[in-house]
Every structure is written in structure tokens, then in C-alpha cells.
């Protein structure tokens, strides 16, 4: 596999072997994983984020309304989530309340992107950790011994679905564009709602495409994920990490603040309501000025320090109540604890997400959570289609305030997303983003605690250091 550079050859029991995978491929961006292996398991791990983005600096001095467009460029695969978080921050700062149709239209835009992103992640990023495609790109290069355990029949079915999923993703992009104007970077999400009043024709076109998508999710995506649990059952027992979860809530279901996924925190076995004052970012091992460590989003500053000696990542280390927390589909589903799909209940013999127990916090458990969430969001899309009113207003006008601040909390497909804006003299004075992957792929914090992904790597089996398949499997289970 491209980028795997074992630092040393196996030298026998009791010896530590360092392995660096750089770049770690089939993820949404740039990442390096470095692990130490002893007696066939990972005993230490570091995750390196090597790219500085600097969107916070780009935004200073601009018209606040520009933020929705500019922040979409943070991520090419979940721009609608950044547009939504930015719009929520501006809605808060502008003191504007959406119309019911505006709420529904935003949900339909973001919902289609959620489905697209989850299907992308499983089939086109993670699936090749479990099946073999033909010996042509993009299925090669791969590890010489890549631990594929499925039968040829199942392998062929999965590869066929890999190709079909490309068409499904195209359809979902079209669904986003029908109400959002274009994709991947939507133009239709704005402060105060959306620019496109849905017509009956647009809603019918969206619904026609959605029928194809839902059929694929329920008849192919969900079953293939559960099919993997047989030959890869051991992957339900490794990669647990901290078992702490943050979820900001996503998809407002009414004007009272109720969301499809609950807003909440799960820390050391207990549930808590979200208190944004307990969100802080630490930078002791990040390439940012030490003077900016331990700040809340409203205090946040982005001051790069690329020559900082002990640092090893351009990712800050966000903590909730000073503890590392996982974000993403597993965290959302754990906090919300919905009923599983019929196939999930049948295959697992349990009713709700938390009934899965510790196995949910595992390499394969994260894939199960993502597939179940895909089915859950698909069910909600049907509801929003029934609620959308053709021709009814989706936008509320609001003037730019002279001075104000706003906080946008939502979820990207891969985790909890926060945007904060401070406005002075009608311009952006400060803007802070705590992106979804930052919660999972962060480095060690000021208290010496590893990031969630680093911690989840501890104990992961690596029986063959020349082919560290499970390291990639673990990292990709988080969809960084």
C-alpha cells in the first residue's frame, strides 16, 4: 500500500517496532499515523495533521455573510455541514428565526449530503480494507497481505456495490443541487434560511431520486455492513478508545430546538447536557502559540507556530470538561440511542443502539453505527419531504448587526461541528471553527491525554508489521 514505511523489521518478542504510515490513504484529507508495536499489538500511537489551513485568518475583516461560502472550502466532502454551522452562527448573531419551510429546506440539503458522505466513506474509502477489487487502480496498490477474509461471492457483490455507489452518490449530489443551487459547494444556504423556494417540480425530482437512494441503503449498504461482522467479528472487540462522546445535535425537527439527533455528552458512563463553556482547545503539542491554549470558542485565537519543537500536528486538541471525547456517527447514535433498523435488530439481537454495549466502540462497531445512522436519516428525509410546502417562503431577511456574536452547533457526517463568529463594525472581528475531525484526530493535550484516535489505536493487533492492516482500519473507522 502506498505510504506504508515500516521503520524497522520485526526483531522478536518484547521489542518495540515503530511503523509510520504517511500518507494514510483513503481518507478525506492529509494524515500520518505513527504507532509503536510490541508483541503484536499497538502500545503507543501518534496522529499527525500536517496541513495548516488558516480559514480563521482569511475571514477577519470580511462581510459576515461571506463566511457561509468561504468556510465550505474547509472540506470538499462535507461543505454543506460547514455552510449549515456558519449559517447557524450567523442566524444567532443576526437574531433571526427561520420559517418552517426554511428549516425543512436546510434539512433536505444537509440530509442528502449526509447520505452521500456515509455511502462515500464505506464504499470508496473503507470497504477496501475488507474486500479485494481487481488488480487495477483505484483498487491497487494495496498491502501484499491485506487480511481479506470474505468468500469470492461476497467479495464480488461488494465490488459491484462499490461501482453502483458511485452512481448513488451522483444522484445525492443532484438532490443537494435541486435545493442548494450547486454541489459540492452550495450557494442556497444563507443567513435567514435558504434562497431557493422549493417548487413542486423540484420536490418531486428530489423524491424520485430519493427512492433510488433509499432502496440502495436498505437493500445493499446495511446488509453488506452486517455481512462483514461474520468473518471480521474480532474487529468488534478492538479499537474502543475512551468511550466518551460529544454530539451537538443536528436536523432541527421544530422551532422549539428539538433535533433528530439529541444534543448531549456521554462521559465516563454518564449522560450530561451540553455546556459550551466546557469546550476548550489545547495546543501544547500542536503547531500553535502556547499563549492560545485552553481557550473556549468565544476566546479562541488561531496563531500558528510552525517551528514549535515539541509539537507534531496542526490540529488543536479540543476537550469537553478537560477530557477527550469521540465525535461522529457512533457518538451521535450513542447519545441519541435510537432503535436500530429491522435488519440491525435481527442481526444483533438487540433493539437500541446502547444495547450493543462495548462492541459499539470498536473498528467494526463504528461502521455499524454509520450504516444505522444512514437508515435513520433516510427515514427523516421522507418525513421532511412530506412536510415541505411548495412555493412557501424559506428566507427571512435580517440586517447585518453593528456588533454581535453567534455560535453555530451542528454535526458534520464525521462529527461535532462548531462555528463561532464575532462581529464589530459590521465586519468579522473573530471567527473560530472546531471541525468534526479535530475531535477525533487531535494530538496529546496539555494534560498528557492522547487524542481519541490515538487512544483507540492502543491494543489494536498488528501481527505483521510489514502489513499493518488494522492501523488503517482503525483510523478509517473514524472517517477523518
Mean pLDDT of the chain: 95
| Mean pLDDT confidence for 127-133 | 95
Asked if 19 and 462 touch (Cβ cutoff 8 Å), the reply is yes
Q: How confident is the model at residue 202 (pLDDT cuts 50, 70, 90)?
A: very high
pLDDT confidence of residue 367? 98
Residues in a beta bridge with 430: 422
Length of the chain counted residue by residue: 480
Please give the pLDDT value at position 352.
Answer: 98
**pLDDT(157) > 70:** yes
Place of cell 471541525: 435
Burial of 341 (0-12, 13-18, 19+ CB in 10 A): buried
pTM greater than 0.85 (yes/no): yes
Confidence of residue 14 (pLDDT cuts 50, 70, 90): confident
pLDDT at 162 exceeding the cut of 90: yes
- Domain segments of the chain as ranges: 4-16+26-50+451-477, 55-239+342-348+363-432
Which tens digit of pLDDT belongs to each residue from 24-83? 999 988 899 999 999 999 999 999 999 998 999 999 999 999 999 999 999 878 899 999
Give pLDDT tens digits for 95-105.
999 999 999 99
Q: How far out from the chain centre does Cα 122 lie?
A: 12
pLDDT tens, residue by residue, 323-369 = 999 999 999 999 999 999 999 999 999 999 999 999 999 999 999 99
CATH 1.10.645.10 fits domain 55-239+342-348+363-432:
yes
pLDDT digits (tens, 9 = 90+) for 361-411: 999 999 999 999 999 999 999 999 999 999 999 999 999 999 999 999 999
Predicted confidence at residue 10, as pLDDT, reads: 46
Name beta bridge partners: 431: 421
Is residue 453's pLDDT more than 70? yes
* pLDDT, tens only, 211-250: 999 999 999 999 999 999 889 999 999 999 999 999 999 9
The average pLDDT across 305-311 equals 96
At residue 5, does pLDDT exceed 80? no
pLDDT on residue 184:
87
With b for 16 or more beta-carbon neighbours within 10 A and e for fewer, the 350-385 pattern comes to eeebeebeebbbbbbbbbbbbbbbbbbbbebbeebb
Spatial separation of the C-alpha atoms in residues 102 and 191, rounded to whole Å: 11
Confidence of residue 12 (pLDDT cuts 50, 70, 90): low
Q: Higher pLDDT residue, 293 or 75?
A: 293
- Specify the pLDDT at position 1: 41
* 8 has a pLDDT exceeding 50: no
Cis peptide bond prior to 184, omega within 30° of 0: yes
Amino acid at each position: 500500500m502506498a505510504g506504508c514505511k515500516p521503520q524497522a523489521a520485526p526483531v522478536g518478542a518484547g521489542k518495540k517496532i515503530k511503523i509510520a504510515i504517511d500518507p494514510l490513504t483513503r481518507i478525506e484529507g492529509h494524515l500520518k499515523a505513527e504507532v509503536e508495536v510490541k508483541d503484536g499489538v499497538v502500545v503507543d500511537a501518534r496522529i499527525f495533521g500536517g496541513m495548516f489551513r488558516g480559514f480563521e485568518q482569511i475571514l477577519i475583516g470580511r462581510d459576515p455573510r461571506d463566511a457561509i461560502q468561504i468556510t465550505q472550502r474547509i472540506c470538499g466532502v462535507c461543505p454543506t455541514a460547514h455552510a449549515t454551522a456558519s449559517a447557524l452562527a450567523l442566524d444567532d448573531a443576526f437574531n433571526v428565526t427561520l420559517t418552517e419551510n426554511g428549516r425543512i429546506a436546510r434539512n433536505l440539503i444537509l440530509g442528502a449530503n449526509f447520505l452521500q458522505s456515509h455511502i462515500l466513506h464505506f464504499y470508496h474509502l473503507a470497504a477496501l480494507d475488507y474486500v479485494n477489487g481487481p488488480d487495477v487502480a483505484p483498487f491497487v496498490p494495496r498491502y501484499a497481505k491485506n487480511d481479506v477474509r470474505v468468500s469470492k461471492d461476497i467479495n464480488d457483490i461488494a465490488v459491484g456495490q462499490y461501482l453502483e455507489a458511485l452512481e448513488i452518490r451522483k444522484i445525492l449530489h443532484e438532490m443537494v443541487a435541486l435545493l442548494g443551487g450547486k454541489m459540492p459547494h452550495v450557494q442556497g444556504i444563507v443567513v435567514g434560511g435558504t434562497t431557493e423556494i422549493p417548487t413542486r417540480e423540484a420536490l418531486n425530482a428530489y423524491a424520485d431520486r430519493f427512492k433510488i437512494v433509499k432502496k440502495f441503503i436498505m437493500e445493499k449498504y446495511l446488509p453488506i455492513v452486517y455481512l462483514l461482522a461474520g468473518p471480521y467479528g474480532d474487529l468488534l472487540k478492538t479499537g474502543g478508545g475512551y468511550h466518551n462522546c460529544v454530539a451537538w445535535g443536528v436536523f432541527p425537527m421544530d422551532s422549539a430546538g428539538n433535533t433528530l439527533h439529541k444534543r448531549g455528552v456521554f462521559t465516563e458512563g454518564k449522560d450530561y447536557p451540553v455546556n459550551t463553556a466546557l469546550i476548550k482547545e489545547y495546543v501544547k503539542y500542536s503547531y500553535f502559540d502556547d499563549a492560545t491554549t485552553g481557550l473556549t470558542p468565544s476566546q479562541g485565537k488561531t496563531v500558528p507556530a510552525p517551528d514549535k519543537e515539541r509539537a507534531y500536528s496542526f490540529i488543536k486538541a479540543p476537550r469537553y470538561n478537560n477530557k477527550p471525547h469521540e465525535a461522529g456517527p457512533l457518538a451521535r447514535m450513542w447519545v441519541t440511542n435510537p432503535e436500530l433498523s429491522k435488519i440491525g435488530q435481527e442481526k444483533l439481537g438487540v433493539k437500541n443502539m446502547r444495547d450493543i454495549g462495548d462492541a459499539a466502540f470498536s473498528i467494526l462497531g463504528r461502521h455499524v453505527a454509520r450504516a444505522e445512522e444512514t437508515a435513520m436519516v433516510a427515514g427523516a428525509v421522507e418525513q421532511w419531504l412530506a412536510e415541505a410546502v411548495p412555493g412557501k417562503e424559506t428566507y427571512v431577511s435580517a440586517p447585518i448587526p453593528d456588533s454581535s456574536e453567534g455560535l453555530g452547533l451542528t454535526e458534520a457526517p464525521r462529527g461535532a461541528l462548531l462555528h463561532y463568529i464575532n462581529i464589530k463594525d459590521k465586519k468579522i472581528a473573530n471567527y473560530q471553527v472546531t471541525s468534526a475531525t479535530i475531535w477525533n484526530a487531535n494530538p496529546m493535550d496539555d494534560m498528557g491525554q492522547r487524542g481519541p484516535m490515538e487512544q483507540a489505536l492502543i491494543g489494536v493487533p498488528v501481527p505483521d508489521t510489514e502489513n499493518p492492516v488494522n492501523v488503517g482500519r482503525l483510523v478509517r473507522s473514524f472517517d477523518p
